[in-house]
Structure 1
Amino acid sequence: MTGLLRRHWLLCLLLVAGITLRVLVWLAYQPALLYIDSFRYLANVDALRPDHLNPLGYDLVLAPLLAIGGLAFTAAVQHVLGLAVAVALYALALRHNVPRWVAAIVAGIVLLDGYQLQIEQNIMSEIWFQALLVGMLWLLLGRGEPNWRRSAVAGLLLGAAMMTRTIGVTILVPVVLYLIVAGGAWRNRAGWHRIAVRGTACLLGFAVVVGSYAGYFRSVTGEWGLTGASSHVLYGRMATIAKCDQLPLDETLKRFCPSTPVEERKGVDYYTHFVYGDSDWPGALPPGRSKQQLADEFGMIVLRNQPVDLAVAVLKDFAKNFAPTKTTSPNDVPVDRWQFQLEYPDFDGAIDPAAFDKTALIHDGVRTSADEDLARFLRDYQLSVGYTPGPLLALAGLLGLAAAAGVGRARRSGLRSAALLTTGSGLIILLGSAAFEFSWRYQLPALVLLPLGGAIGLTALLGRRMPAPARRRVKLAAFPDDVDKAAMREFRERYGDSPLSQLVVVIAAYNEADGIGTVLRNMPTRCGELPVSVLVVVDGATDDTAKVAAENGALVCVAPRNRGQGAALRLGYHLAAAGGADYVVTTDADGQYDNAELPLLMRPLLDGRADFVTGSRRLGSEQADSRVRWLGVRVFAGLASILTWRRITDTSFGFRAMRAELACSVTLREPQYQSSELLLGVLARRARVVELPMSMRLRGNGKSKKGHSLVYGANYARVMTGTWLREYVLRRLRRHSVRH
């Protein structure tokens, strides 16, 4: 626990501050803050009518919370959810190799932003919408490239987010783009099959939620729809820009166009709620024509005839999100609606003042109140330092976009698709909101999207790569699985059935474009009388590993999905054997082994003295960069010696040579910790194994994908003992039972 606190001390400090602020907010305004929309939600909790202004997603959450503990309990739960969202963003940032202090800033924005604190105290849907978006991001980004199951659940969450706030539909665009580009799947034919499967799963998940809701809407209203707000929204925006004398409007539609000159008109909110919402407006209508139909028709006429005016108005509102300070522009929703007030807010009579106490008494048995001292502190905090400056969000958006575009080092980072999803979602939701109207409240979802996208973008631009997906406990399917079949089929289409020589050097490579060229250029072309073929198995890389390898003379097999070094090597063994190889050699793509020692490695095999030859750093020389790893080599060699009853000095040396049929005969199911599995499997088959003194250098390029030493060691031990149990105990027990 002490080590955990030490590593994440900055987050812990921010969490303490965030918790303290939330407690103060909860105590300052009791039982909760009620906004104009809050009364709409509360009025529909029991009836659950889908044709009201707001969708039902929040009401479905609100009903049980009110039943359990009322408004105060609901606000407390929302504050806890805000803390959880911040921690989830921090953890997701770390998953993408973001520096801890940058990840802490991402979380700190949600933890400390005064407008975020205020909306969590409100009986409003925002925090639930944010939580659903973060849950969707975790499903798509939290464990590497998404499969169809996680894509389907992400679609369900996105549908739920849309049913909480309809603006969520805009995020479907970056989600679909992400599912196309994630993992570089679009680069090959097999990848497009994967794209189709996960994309279809996501869209089906989304359609299940939205379709079910639309069906409920029809069962209640007799018409298809999702909310009663569509006509309000369209009319409100178009009424502010409509040039009435230039539009083809009949006499009835002219009544929908404001008589006030365009430059003197009020804002979108006024025409949406006060004009359209007036039950007496626009007066008697011709038979068969409803206000909703005519408002929609008017809005579409303005849209067709004034697209440039609409685009200019929307972009002006979009740009307001990035202003240095939060102020109220003419005709906008007042910013003070989202600011802490010294007294309990009543919105200048927009709601009957008696309704606040009445609602609080119904649900909590108390009247609404504000603690003036706490409120003053919170207001001073919010208006001085407790808000997120717009330029910071703009910078985050630019960093995310630059990384998504592959600028500089970001191109080979493996982080481009993650930057695209997070930044694209943040920007499109701001743009979609601006298409209706600007409100500082509508900026809040971007607080959980743009900073994360900017942090990932900065990480990519600095050259920090996406760590290899963790696959510690996931076994490989028996060879060949679907990925193996697709890769082998593409390899044969490119090179034919027998493109390899008797001696094949197999290299598994994942995002090694910077270093593999040097390794290949230093590879011997002959070993005695045998020509040497080099086969590079590219394990779902997101950089130019395959291109660099091909340019340096290697035959390249591209696995369409990253599965781990063990899977790539296993695929290479079988390709080599099927391509005519008698001998298989393995080496790494990072330059740690001296490939000039290949003749020495092969000599016992060619002399007929061995079936399997492995180098040993302990018998030779070693440049160690970790005392833990230096110790681990010796500990695991001792463990292997005890398990197999023969002296072994190095179980994880990657420069090895073996007969091709032997490599294909061993059961290999480990994606990452395959070296001990291969060695113990060979020994269990009573193959002749020889260790030779070899040299091992530090990595020539990049960063090790093995992860933390202690975690790697624990999993290495698990694989070694598991392989011994499978090959030495269970396999022999099965043989014994067959004989008898």
Structure 2
Amino acid sequence: MRDRLFVVLLAGGALLRATALFACWPALEFYGDSYSYLWYAKELRPGQVRPFGYSAFLKLFSWSPSIAVVPVVQHLLGLGIGAALYGLSVHRGLSRRLAAAAAAPVLLDAYQVNIEQMVMAETLFAALLTAAVLALLWRERPSGSMCAGADALLAAATLTRSVALVLPVLAAVYLLARSVGVRRLVAFGAGVTLPLAAYAAWFAAVYGNFALQNADGFFLWGRVAEFADCSRIQVTPRELPLCSPHPPGERPGPNYYDWDANSPRAAFGPFGAETNTVFRRFALKVIVAQPREYTRLVAHDVTHCFEPVRRVGSRDWYLATWQFRAGHPDPRWQIHRSLRDFDGAVTPRRHDAVLGGLLRGYQSVGFTPGPLLAGCVLMGVLAAMAAAGYGLLRIRQDCLLLVGMGLVLLVVPCATAVFDYRYLLPVLVCLPPAGAFAVAQLRLVRARTRPAGRRAGPDLPTRPEPPPGPPPDLVGRAGRTGWRRRVRSSRGTTSSPATPRSGSPAPP
């Protein structure tokens, strides 16, 4: 069985997810976000802080008598994401080992399993992102319907987590590089514009302003409040409460400014368009006046994602929120409140201490290390640059797309909200496949740049070697549509020697 390695990984992922279900029955809920998603699913209206996409997903399962249906479906989505990444890699000609390596982080990362057990939007977001990547990368030249479908999926991902708002731009640049044609680009643009415009119109009908949410300025202010120096900007009387009298070194992090009852935010009342504008205007003034401090803060948090161990500082979100419970939870972790069902009623929960302890022990080592993700970024960039003239143009573009998407998913939360390992999980859809594609590309480059001949011995003449073909990682099955036709390489790509004409002497 050629797929036995992936089958083993899939079975391991299924076992982890089944253990999580029995350890934390019927589900885990993150106080604040989970309650909000359930509330708006019941009310059927958009929220001002979080888009409605995940609430719509929850509404689909509100017929169930138990909230457990949500983690069950999300665990199946997690396994499906791993299978989809494996299938895409094999379809594109990668070896089954490389394909399994691309899917392994999603299948075996314990933090991914934990978030699937929660009533949280990350799993649905990752599934929509995976489907969009498949639509873009499956064919050599995506059809018009696939372009429209890919952008519709990215629009749905944006309405699930607003961090995806930048991804359609990267996808459009990718399609331009692929030379898909005007019709496909128009279909792609319509696929993202129409759903987002329709949602913004619905939002305007409810709250009065044409937008996707009314909290982006609020989160951005929480990001810059820890270093903002009001003596360097012009502060209006309305913005004056947002200035902290404490030195930057003594200030708390965004967690306090965003959610604490004693935060200056409490003086501004509930969320709204006017309040959000005040917060956004103040934050942008600080960023313009203090670009060095802001850049340093964002760079620090982004590099934090690539560290070998999972640790958090006093200004980061609590790591234990996303860890399986081994004992009594700390109230700060926001998972100790009552468990709610689809109607908002309190539902009983059951925690198995033995299974929870086993999962917590596995989670201490069973996660995707930061240096591996950093290596995927570097390999993807290297494969796209060093392979010019030797590798396949299509794979170079694929690597840049996947690396670009992964970095956007890392940088945007660090630049606009707070450092939180929860925001690292959707990156597993992009960076590991980028690393696998990069390895295959670099192997092809090595094969094509191998010396033309070698000396067999001191007394033997040099024997010319046959022109190298694609390495095993880029050889597909005879019936695989993805590699029936050789992808056109960039300028300078070597080609096989010409066949001599009939009747002419063959080369020696």
* Correspondences of 1:591-606 after superposition (within 5 Å): 591=497, 593-597=499-503
* Correspondences of 1:47-62 after superposition (within 5 Å): 47-62=43-58
1:205 matched to 2:200? The reply is no
1:393 matched to 2:376? The reply is no
Q: Which amino acid aligns with 2:488?
A: A
Between Structure 1 and Structure 2, which shows a larger proportion of strand residues? 1
Partner of residue 309, structure 2: 325
Partner of residue 291, structure 2: 307
Partner of residue 358, structure 2: 377
Report Cα offsets for 1:274-308 as digits up to 9, x if no partner: 26977741589xxxx95333222211211221222
1:407 matched to 2:383? The reply is no
User: Max radius of gyration: which structure?
Assistant: 1
What is the rounded CA distance, in whole Å, between the counterparts of 2:154 and 2:288 in structure 1?
30
What is the rounded CA distance, in whole Å, between the counterparts of 1:283 and 1:87 in structure 2?
46
Partner of residue 17, structure 1: 12
What is the rounded CA distance, in whole Å, between the counterparts of 2:233 and 2:264 in structure 1?
24
Q: Which amino acid aligns with 2:371?
A: P
Q: Which of 272, 279, 283 is residue 295 of structure 1 equivalent to?
A: 279
Secondary structure of the residue aligned to 2:169 is helix
1:339 matched to 2:334? The reply is no
Secondary structure of the residue aligned to 2:85 is helix
1:458 matched to 2:439? The reply is yes
Report Cα offsets for 1:488-541 as digits up to 9, x if no partner: xxxxxxxxxxxxxxxxxxxxx976xxxxxxxxxxxxxxxxxxxxxxxxxxxx72
Secondary structure of the residue aligned to 2:50 is coil
* Correspondences of 1:34-433 after superposition (within 5 Å): 34-36=29-31, 37-182=33-178, 185=179, 194-274=180-260, 280-281=266-267, 290-343=274-327, 345=329, 347-348=331-332, 355-357=337-339, 359-360=340-341, 366-383=347-364, 385-407=365-387, 411-412=391-392, 414-433=394-413
Report Cα offsets for 1:420-458 as digits up to 9, x if no partner: 111111111101111122100000011111000111011
Judged with a 3 Å threshold, the aligned counterparts in structure 2 of structure 1 residues 198 and 389 are, in CA distance, closer, same or farther, namely same
Judged with a 3 Å threshold, the aligned counterparts in structure 2 of structure 1 residues 470 and 294 are, in CA distance, closer, same or farther, namely farther
Q: Which amino acid aligns with 1:318?
A: V
What is the rounded CA distance, in whole Å, between the counterparts of 2:476 and 2:116 in structure 1?
36
Q: Which amino acid aligns with 1:40?
A: S
Report Cα offsets for 1:311-360 as digits up to 9, x if no partner: 21111111111000001122100111111112474634857x5x514x25
Judged with a 3 Å threshold, the aligned counterparts in structure 2 of structure 1 residues 256 and 109 are, in CA distance, closer, same or farther, namely same
Q: Which amino acid aligns with 1:160?
A: A
Q: Which amino acid aligns with 1:595?
A: R
Report Cα offsets for 1:11-59 as digits up to 9, x if no partner: 0111111111110000000110011211111121121332331110000
Partner of residue 541, structure 1: 488
Judged with a 3 Å threshold, the aligned counterparts in structure 2 of structure 1 residues 597 and 274 are, in CA distance, closer, same or farther, namely farther
Secondary structure of the residue aligned to 2:394 is coil
Report Cα offsets for 1:151-203 as digits up to 9, x if no partner: 11111000000000000112123212211212xx3xxxxxxxx4433222212
Post-superposition offset of 1:245: 1.8
Post-superposition offset of 1:67: 1.8
Contact kept in structure 2, 1:240 and 1:266, CA below 8 Å = yes
What is the rounded CA distance, in whole Å, between the counterparts of 1:161 and 1:290 in structure 2?
26
Partner of residue 602, structure 1: none
Post-superposition offset of 1:409: 7.1
Partner of residue 461, structure 2: none
What is the rounded CA distance, in whole Å, between the counterparts of 1:117 and 1:462 in structure 2?
33
Q: Which amino acid aligns with 2:317?
A: V
Partner of residue 32, structure 1: 27
Partner of residue 447, structure 2: none
Contact kept in structure 2, 1:174 and 1:420, CA below 8 Å = no
Post-superposition offset of 1:62: 0.5
Q: Which amino acid aligns with 2:285?
A: I
What is the rounded CA distance, in whole Å, between the counterparts of 1:369 and 1:361 in structure 2?
18
Moved over 6 A (4+): 275-279, 467-474
Q: Which of 391, 415, 422 is residue 441 of structure 1 equivalent to?
A: 422
Q: TM-score, normalised by structure 1?
A: 0.60
* Correspondences of 1:457-606 after superposition (within 5 Å): 457-463=438-444, 464=470, 541-544=488-491, 590-591=496-497, 593-597=499-503
* Most deviating of 256-265 and 589-598: 589-598
Aligned residues: 477
* Most deviating of 52-61 and 239-248: 239-248
Partner of residue 448, structure 2: none
Judged with a 3 Å threshold, the aligned counterparts in structure 2 of structure 1 residues 409 and 378 are, in CA distance, closer, same or farther, namely farther
Judged with a 3 Å threshold, the aligned counterparts in structure 2 of structure 1 residues 591 and 348 are, in CA distance, closer, same or farther, namely closer
What is the rounded CA distance, in whole Å, between the counterparts of 1:70 and 1:63 in structure 2?
13
Judged with a 3 Å threshold, the aligned counterparts in structure 2 of structure 1 residues 591 and 407 are, in CA distance, closer, same or farther, namely closer
What is the rounded CA distance, in whole Å, between the counterparts of 2:210 and 2:113 in structure 1?
37
Q: Which amino acid aligns with 1:391?
A: P
Contact kept in structure 1, 2:387 and 2:441, CA below 8 Å = no
Contact kept in structure 2, 1:410 and 1:461, CA below 8 Å = no
What is the rounded CA distance, in whole Å, between the counterparts of 2:269 and 2:11 in structure 1?
57
What is the rounded CA distance, in whole Å, between the counterparts of 1:276 and 1:174 in structure 2?
40
Contact kept in structure 1, 2:389 and 2:490, CA below 8 Å = no
Contact kept in structure 1, 2:402 and 2:433, CA below 8 Å = yes
Contact kept in structure 2, 1:412 and 1:544, CA below 8 Å = no
Judged with a 3 Å threshold, the aligned counterparts in structure 2 of structure 1 residues 26 and 300 are, in CA distance, closer, same or farther, namely same
Contact kept in structure 2, 1:409 and 1:461, CA below 8 Å = no
Q: Which has the higher contact order (CA 8 A, sep 6+)?
A: 2
Contact kept in structure 1, 2:389 and 2:491, CA below 8 Å = no
What is the rounded CA distance, in whole Å, between the counterparts of 1:240 and 1:172 in structure 2?
32
What is the rounded CA distance, in whole Å, between the counterparts of 1:283 and 1:416 in structure 2?
50
Aligned-pair RMSD on alpha carbons? 3.1
Report Cα offsets for 1:446-481 as digits up to 9, x if no partner: 11110001110111011057679999999xxxxxxx
Judged with a 3 Å threshold, the aligned counterparts in structure 2 of structure 1 residues 451 and 18 are, in CA distance, closer, same or farther, namely same
Report Cα offsets for 1:681-717 as digits up to 9, x if no partner: xxxxxxxxxxxxxx9x9xxxxxxxxxxxxxxxxxxxx
What is the rounded CA distance, in whole Å, between the counterparts of 1:444 and 1:303 in structure 2?
28
Post-superposition offset of 1:232: 1.6
Q: Which amino acid aligns with 1:266?
A: P
* Correspondences of 1:705-720 after superposition (within 5 Å): none
Partner of residue 462, structure 2: none
Contact kept in structure 2, 1:344 and 1:369, CA below 8 Å = no
Q: TM-score, normalised by structure 2?
A: 0.86
Post-superposition offset of 1:148: 2.2
What is the rounded CA distance, in whole Å, between the counterparts of 2:231 and 2:44 in structure 1?
42
What is the rounded CA distance, in whole Å, between the counterparts of 2:332 and 2:481 in structure 1?
60
Secondary structure of the residue aligned to 1:400 is helix
